[in-house]
């Protein structure tokens, strides 16, 4: 992919954390990331069926933080909404539904132009973080719909597994651990690295440097 690799990304593992409200655990990072030059954020809620309710939740949070929020599903021209955006937030939900909709509405190339070449800030949470990577092949979500490709936006040269859980030595569950599932993924040829992103964690990507922030930094 031509052009600069990433320089303005905040990739959050989760929107909700036990004991706190929506995005409350990463408010400081969100404020620092968007700063005061950003006035309005374009929200992409395609992960959920009830997009109106999701936009309402996101709008209330961002307005509390001092930003206006426009939801792309309310626009008659989603491509133009991306072109006019000064910052983007893609929320969490079903990654397959999200990626299918981005392809269907021809938003993949527009998002790449805005983030990789225009350099506007991109924040993702969970599914929004998944689609910022090379592909969605290691998402935890059920394939309730089928996107034309698993290839995602490719903002970073690796994949991310949000909500990563360490093996519980006291668990009686006989299913595969998250670590075992990722190792199975790497049994296939030419698989990129995977970042297991624990709850409350988020890499901040600026230019070619990524810094792990949040409650769980290791």
Q: What is the DSSP string of 113-142?
A: IIIIIS---EEEETHHHHTTSSBSTT-SS-
Distances 186 to 25, 27, 117 between C-alpha atoms, Å:
32, 34, 31
Tell me whether residue 85 is one of the annotated catalytic residues.
no
136/140 Cα distance (integer angstroms): 9
Tell me whether residue 163 is one of the annotated catalytic residues.
yes
Report yes or no: 207 and 5 within 8 Å, Cβ to Cβ: yes
Tell me whether residue 201 is one of the annotated catalytic residues.
no
**Phi and psi torsions of 103, nearest 5°:** -70, -45
From 70, 73, 75, 163, active-site residue: 163
From 71, 126, 135, 201, active-site residue: 126
35/174 Cα distance (integer angstroms): 46
CB proximity list for 19: less than 8 A, separation 6 or greater = none
Q: Which of 170, 134, 127 is nearest to 152 (CA)?
A: 134
From 141, 171, 173, 201, active-site residue: 141
User: Which are the catalytic amino acids?
Assistant: 126, 141, 163
């Amino acid at each position: 992919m031509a052009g600069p690799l990433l320089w303005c990304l905040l990739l959050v593992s989760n929107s909700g954390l036990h004991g706190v409200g929506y995005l409350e655990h990463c408010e400081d990072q969100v404020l620092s990331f968007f700063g005061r030059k950003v006035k309005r954020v374009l929200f992409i809620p395609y992960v959920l069926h009830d997009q109106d309710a999701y936009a309402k939740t996101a709008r209330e949070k961002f307005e509390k933080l001092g930003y206006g929020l426009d939801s792309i599903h309310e626009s008659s021209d989603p491509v133009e909404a991306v072109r006019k955006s000064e910052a983007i937030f893609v929320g969490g939900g079903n990654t397959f539904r999200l990626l299918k909709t981005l392809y269907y509405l021809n938003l993949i190339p527009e998002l790449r132009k805005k983030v990789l070449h225009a350099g506007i800030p991109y924040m993702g949470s969970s599914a929004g973080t998944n689609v910022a990577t090379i592909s969605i092949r290691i998402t935890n979500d059920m394939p309730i719909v089928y996107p034309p490709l698993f290839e995602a936006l490719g903002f970073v040269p690796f994949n991310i597994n949000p909500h990563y859980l360490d093996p519980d030595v006291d668990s009686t569950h006989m299913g595969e651990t998250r670590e075992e599932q990722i190792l199975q993924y790497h049994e296939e040829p030419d698989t990129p690295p995977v970042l297991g992103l624990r709850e409350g964690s988020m890499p901040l990507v600026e230019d070619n440097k990524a810094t792990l922030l949040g409650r769980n930094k290791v």
